[in-house]
Amino acid sequence: MQEERHLSRTPTPNGRPCRSPSGYVAGRVMPARPPPSPGVTSHSVQWSSSKAENQATFITRGNEQWRETEAARKRRRKVKNSLVCVSICLGLFFIVLAVVFGTNPGSERDENCPDHQLGFTNWDPGHNELKRVVIGKGDRFRLVSSATLHSIIIQQGGVLVFADSADGSKNISLKCSYILVRDGGELHIGAEKCRYKSRATITLRGRSNEGEWSPSFGRKFLGVDSGGTLELHGALKTSWTLLAKTLPPSGLEFGSYIERPVTRGLNVRVVDQDTGQVLLADRFDTHDFANESKRLQKLLQSQDVGRIIAIAVRDSAAKNLLQLTKDTIQELLGSGLVQDLSYRQAWALVGVIGAGNMSCDESVRDYENHDTGGKAKARKEFVTVDGVRFAVSASSQWKKGIPQAEFQVNVSEGFVLELLDEVQGWEMGDRLVVASTDYSMHQAEEFIVLRCPECTSRQIMVTGKAQFLHVGEIMDGIDMRAEVGMLTRNIVIEGEMEDSCYGDNWCQFFKHDTFGGHLKILKNFTSVHLSNVELVHMGQQVMGSYPVHFHLCGDVDKLGGYSSPTYVDSIAIHHCFSRCVTIHATNGLLVRDTVGYDTLGHCFFLEDGIEERNVLFHNLGLVTKPGTLLPTDRNDAMCSSILNNVYGNYIPVPATDCKAVSTFWVANPNNHLINNAAAGSQDTGIWYLFHKGPTGESHGLLIETKAELTPLGTFYNNRVHSNFKAGLFIDKGVKVSNASADDPREYLCLDNSARFRPHQDADPQKPRIAALIDRLIAFKNNDHGAWVRGGDIVFQNSGFSDNGIGLSFASDGSFPKDEGSSQVISESLFVGESGNYGSQGGQNKYWGVGGVEGKNRTLPRDKTFPIRGFQIYDGPIHVTKTTFQNYVATPVRFTSAIGFFLKNPWQLTPKNSFSLLKFDTKVALRVFFGKPGPWFEGYDFDGDKNEIFHDVDGSVTGYKDTYVSRMDNFLVQHPGCKNVTSWFGSVCSGKYAQVYIQTRRPQNLTMTIVRDEYPKYPMRLRGINQRADFQQYQPVVMLEKGYTIHWNGRAPEETFLYLINFNKGDWIRVGLCYPKGSDFQIMADIYQRQNSTAHSVEDFQKVASLEELQNKPGQRKYYFDNGAGLLFLMLQARHDREGHSYCSTQGCERVKVAAVMTTQGVSNCMPAAADPTYSVTPKATVAMPPPSSGKCEGCGASRLAFTSDPYQTYLRVQIQSLGKTGTQQGQETSFISVNGTRFSFGDKFYMVTVDACSGMVTQNVSFAKADAVMANYLENGISARSIVLLGSKDTIGGDVDAISKKLVPLGTAKPAQLHKRESIAFFGYRGNSRPLWTRLYSSPAGQGLPLLEKYIPLQLEDYGCTMVNSVQRKELELLHKALQ
């Protein structure tokens, strides 16, 4: 056992180590604010390896007593004087040594670097897993080598820094079970102004069932307690960016190719030299048949010069391989071995037609004893016309008596990722992740960076090949460029893991060990700044143990007294086991440029509902998986089987209690989300939810929270995709009471009681503050792009594509709590199905026909799921200045731009409105109301039947100021309405409102309402909630009409009729069915919903006839036709209504009918209602307008592209090159379009050039054929800094070789083979750079090209444009504002 050791340090004269009198200076070692006074005095560090207790101890050294007599001093005086001189010299010598050896050797001293500070001692504690270290007062250690310890406590002014070296070679690994920094202790690795250059790794060790447990920190942690300082600053690396060019599966446009033929003879593959596509696969049995040899000869002679040919023998091919065929192979492919090919000899060749033996690679292996002793291999590398390097290989062999052959076409070793931004610090060996751009988050893929001297600052070469499509472009106006996240940093904090799950770590759900390390910061820390740090295998399925956890820290910015506000910057958190960054009862934290990848549970997690003013800027979260900690983290299996905290025998319901795991979980709206990406979660990308009160450990810290009423912080330019439930979700809360007999659900399970209704100062009596969602991009989310419920919420400048449902707005009930609120979306784009066809695999469940071109693609939800762009639920909502495109149905699926919530029991308001909408030609159904069948089921819920909206300007229907409802709803129609059968809708003029009918005793009645004009077409309503003590119905009605109401049982004893969306003077007449002989007490009042009081109470008086009642519509009268059993009332509004308010400015006008009935019969008076006494001829109250004529001016979104770099201007260009077949079939003419301006042409070739800085068209010319004139124009007629657009019509002809060569300076990687091509389309650039968007498309003979579209960036510095740096960066302005 090692002896106890002590390191003593000579204290400074005042008993404290040397410190700067001024606090922390950025980049220095000192903390931002002074630590609290230490409670223990210690002058040294001590450690022990004793097994018993093994706790660190503190020892205070006494002063040695010197006793000398006067006589002794006199005797030694001469000697002493001599020693004094020697001591002074030695002292100076040792001071110099201390200065020299107390600084980092081998580098020039930099006062900004912690390890360069004076007064530090090099520390090499060695490797002892039992050694406990306490670094205390006076201890200033520089760790200079790797070490293994039990634990480290840094306190009372003790400082530990990691040594670094100028060349980054000082790699240090520190392993221990925990590190605790507290009470003035400091841990530094690098600094803001002196980035750590070497590699530093802190490995946290231990199992969940072993070792000490700290009440505040648990096990296996790096902890910062009160007074602690943690400064970790790694080398600068760009955290994440976007792809700038699409990465196809395998890296090749047509995919990689591998095949092992099983046929005898010469197996041949013909490969397109421009794309790497295998054009032909054939085999020729030249062993048995001479004709096969002739057929092979003809095939080779028919190939164009430049075509790639791969040949491999399987079994034998020599017996009937004719000499002429051998000569042809030698002549066309340059083979030097084919002439001597023998029986069962293995031979493989890769060559190029017409290129001679310099282009040929081949090899042979002789057959002996049923084996060739290895493969005959041939391999050649090529480049596509787009610049992608690929290899074609062939092999042939006999192995243990079995013949084998193989062909492969793959990208060459390593392929290049084209990136949107210049990246800093991405080096060979680094690991990165490319996000999914499909419905499944599991299509995210990891790659290793390779050395690439030829790569630009926007290019990275990586190993392997992609399995899935990763989009790198703007498609159909929506930015779908995949995120590329850097996972590697040179400062690493990691957990040491077991090989598999063990103990009580939820091994029924996880096969791997989930007990990682964790980093936890407690309140009153002195200084914490983390930048460019990698955290891997961190977090635990234990509450409070997360990769980064700010725990009950309060204000951590200037409001909290921090002169240098706390931040987490450019952190990579990956392959972790519980969240990413947890912000718990902490305010003012900046989290920026952080990547959270492959984690369990909510990733960026704002926990208790009281966290405010935190700024999340430019963070990326992806592959967020379920965890066990909270009900909202769990999936189906976890939800229904974790029963520890439910009451009794309750079994949680996954759909309503759990299944909410989100990449960004925001429990208070007063936080700022700017430029973030939620790129794949099991449930939701960004979820705003609203706690009724502080939860968890924050319970009791604040008396009241008003999250539901709190205005939204900044939401700007965030993107959400590849999430299963929704991209953005604004709704619901969590249960804030413990499980009980009254409510057995678990504490903090999902709860549907909260509604977002933001007001000034969170005061409902003050004005509403609309929540602004500015620039949301949502694509490839299985269910919703966004679901939003609550008060005033405004979306603008947003794009939705390839979602099951683009956007749903919902209010907060039959009577919205935030009276007068509404939701609005403007200046936005909805795309049903884009050109992003996706990839099979990666847990994508659905694959089938869809899209404009009717091709196979990945699908949301199911092949039959009715895709909708904007979905109406209840309202009021308004959609304006918005564009819809690419909504095309299939034989098994309805697809519409506007749709409705399915199986809707709720109300819909006729105040839902649309204006200034634009629908492109590829929208088959602008509106679809539904149809009984899959997903719609019976299509007979109350909300289904009352679907309606207002077409304000006719941009939906072509009829201005009309209302669109279901075709079978005769409560709202008249004879002049226009039916649109394909919509199952009817377009009508008129005035509309709602009657909210509330009934008591009995409950659960079915109500039938029928309009006097259409007695044969009643509407039956089952009510909103069949289990409530009272029932609610809310039919939409046409005003100035009469209606009767009937029941499937005895009429209710109490009936309330509320006038909803009635303006002053609006009226309807209602007749309620009651048993004969009934007595009534009827009164009117105005109900104040905020305080549940009523005023202006008036009683109704009975009149003798219906005529008398109708002559006095404004008076409180009623008429009961005892014979018919109908009680008639005139419902007329007496007060004005403002804005979107359901009720009047005075409150909700209502009528209460209390009935005393002597019989129990069914109250159905339909026969009497159909009697001529009460039925009348239908007519319109408002005449139908004439159909609109002309173009809808100002309709649709102003922007053409919705991107994640809104400061960048993009030019939308389209090329339609029709081949001969398309022309003969009468398809639309060939054209080139620039930002919507179309240039049609009739000649074979047409060209448009655009200035790349201004976006202005500079020239448009046409050519009858490819000739010298066209070639000269391509070479000399195009100005520098020009975008070049080239299209064709019919079958191209002429000197296409000359044209192909002239396209190389404009963007192709090599001259393309254009012989026997039908059509071409080219996007090129004349200038000193080769932009990534340049591309040549061509089609085989007999085929045309589809409409091709690109969004080309303008005003780039690479083009040589001026004023590039003057672009306004709104996101940076918003960040600056949020940090104030």
Interval 1072-1093: pLDDT, tens: 999 999 999 999 999 998 788 9
Residue 228: which of 24, 600, 521, 618 has the closest Cα? 521
Cα distances (angstroms) measured from residue 427 to each of 171, 411, 422, 527: 17, 21, 13, 31
Range 773-792 burial, b when 16+ CB lie within 10 A, else e: bbbbbbbbbbbbbbbbbbbb
| Helix-strand-coil split of the chain, %, nearest 5 | 10, 35, 50
pLDDT exceeds cutoff 50 at 1230: yes
Please determine, for residue 45, whether its predicted confidence score (pLDDT) is greater than 70: no
DSSP 1244: S
With CA atoms as reference, report the closest residue to 158 among 228, 55, 59, 231.
228
Euclidean distance between CA atoms 150 and 53, whole angstroms: 12
CA distances to 104, 523, 551 from 120, rounded to whole Å, are 9, 28, 32
Provide the CB-side half-sphere exposure for 354 (13 A, CA): 8
Nearest to 1072 by CA among 1164, 1149, 1150, 1003: 1164
- The string of pLDDT tens digits covering residues 234-262 is 999 999 999 999 999 999 999 999 999 99
Place of tokens 């392997």: 464
Q: For CA atoms 180, 600, 675, 615, give the dihedral sign.
A: negative
- Whose CA is closest to 683, among 728, 647, 638, 718? 728
Q: What is the mean pLDDT of residues 90-108?
A: 50
Report the pLDDT averaged over residues 1131-1145: 94
Whether the pLDDT of residue 426 is over 90: the answer is yes
The torsion of the CA quartet 288, 293, 294, 298, rounded to 10 degrees, works out to 140
Is the pLDDT assigned to residue 538 strictly greater than 70?
A: yes
Average pLDDT over residues 495-506: 97
Asked if residue 135 lies in contact with residue 158, where contact means CB atoms within 8 angstroms, the answer is: yes
- The whole-angstrom separation of Cα 396 and Cα 416 is 31
Q: Report DSSP letters for 1255-1288, one per residue.
A: --EEEEEEESSBSHHHHHHHHHSS-SSEEEEEEE
Q: Kindly report the pTM of this predicted structure.
A: 0.92
**CA–CA separation, 18 vs 261, rounded Å?**
77
CA torsion through residues 814, 818, 819, 823, sign: negative
Q: Quote the CA–CA distance of 487 and 483 in Å, as a whole number.
A: 12
424 pLDDT above the threshold of 70: yes
C-beta neighbour count of 975 within 10 angstroms: 11
Instruction: In whole angstroms, give the CA distance from residue 800 to residue 470.
Output: 18
Cα→Cα distances 370→318, 395, 401, 669, 680, Å: 17, 17, 4, 75, 53
Contacts of 551 (CB under 8 A, 6+ apart): 520, 521, 522, 523, 544, 582, 584, 585, 586
The pair of three-digit structure tokens given for residue 1153, joined into one six-digit string: 């009918």
Q: Note whether 537 and 497 are within 8 A (CB).
A: yes
pLDDT computed for residue 1089 by the predictor = 84
More confident residue, 67 or 762: 762
CA gap 702, 809 in Å, rounded: 32
- The encoded tokens of residue 1333 equal 């968007």
User: Which pLDDT value is given to residue 1025?
Assistant: 76
**Amino acid identity, position 762:** A
Q: What is the mean pLDDT of residues 427-445?
A: 98
Please state, as a whole number, how many other Cβ atoms lie within 10 Å of the Cβ of residue 9.
17
Residue 1204 CA to residue 704 CA, distance in Å, equals 38
* Interval 1286-1293 mean pLDDT: 91
Q: Does pLDDT of 1119 surpass 70? A: yes
pLDDT for 818 equals: 78
- Residue 698: predicted pLDDT: 86
Residue 1214 has pLDDT above 90, yes or no: yes
Residue 1271 CA to residue 377 CA, distance in Å, equals 42
Q: Cis bond leading into 1002, ω under 30°? A: yes
Return the pLDDT at 89: 53
In tens, the pLDDT along 611-669 reads 999 999 999 999 999 999 999 999 999 999 999 999 999 999 999 999 999 999 999 99
Which of 144, 73, 52, 76 lies closest to 105 in space, CA to CA? 144
548: helix, strand or coil: strand
Tokens 């309620």 map to which residue?
1072
Look-up of token digits 């009254």: 742
Amino acid 703: pLDDT: 62
Stretch (H or E) spanning 1374: helix 1370-1378
- How buried is residue 1328: exposed, middle or buried, by Cβ count under 10 Å (0-12/13-18/19+)? exposed
The separation between CA 74 and the C-alpha centre of its own chain, rounded to angstroms, equals 86
**pLDDT band at residue 32 using 50, 70 and 90 as cut-offs:** very low
Q: What is the pLDDT of residues 1143-1194, one digit of tens each?
A: 999 999 999 999 999 999 999 999 988 888 888 999 999 999 999 988 889 9
Nearest to 625 by CA among 687, 573, 577: 577
Instruction: Note whether 124 and 145 are within 8 A (CB).
Output: yes
List all residues 6 or more positions away from 933 whose beta carbon is below 8 Å from its beta carbon. Answer: 939
Q: In whole angstroms, what is the distance from residue 319 CA to residue 305 CA?
A: 29
| Maximal C-alpha separation, the chain | 141
pLDDT at 60 over 80: no
985 contacts 927 by C-beta, under 8 angstroms: yes
Model pLDDT for residues 220-239, shown as the tens digit of each residue:
999 999 999 999 999 999 99
Find the mean pLDDT for residues 886-890: 96
Instruction: Give φ, ψ of 76 to 5 degrees.
Output: -105, 5
Distance between CA 27 and CA 571 in Å, rounded? 18
> Strands 172-176, 200-204: parallel, antiparallel or unpaired by DSSP?
parallel
CB 334 within 8 A of CB 360: yes
At residue 1013, does pLDDT exceed 70? yes
The mean predicted confidence, pLDDT, of the chain is 91
Q: Using CA of residue 839, residue 840, residue 845, residue 851, what is the dihedral sign?
A: positive
- pLDDT, average across residues 324-349: 96
Burial (CB count <10 Å: 0-12, 13-18, 19+), residue 327: middle
Whether 969 has a pLDDT exceeding 50, the answer reads yes
Residue type, 683: D
Share of the chain above pLDDT 70, in %: 91
Amino acid at 402: I
Share of residues in the chain with pLDDT > 90 (%): 83
Inform me whether the pLDDT recorded for 745 exceeds 50.
Answer: yes
Whole-angstrom CA distances from 1224 to 853, 1218, 1238 are 19, 10, 22
pLDDT tens for 1301-1328 read 999 999 999 999 998 889 999 999 999 9
Which residue, among 147, 194, 149, has the nearest Cα to 168 in the 3D structure?
194
Q: What type of residue is 129?
A: E
DSSP codes joined into one string, 672-730: EEES-EE--BSSEEEEE---SS--GGGBTTBS---GGGSPP--EEEEEEES-SSEEEEE
What is the residue type of 122?
N
* Contact indicator for 1082, 1118 with CB cutoff of 8 Å: yes
The pLDDT value given to residue 41 = 35
Residues 6+ apart with CB under 8 A from 1136: 1063, 1064, 1144, 1145
Nearest by Cα to 1035 from 1066, 998, 1083: 998
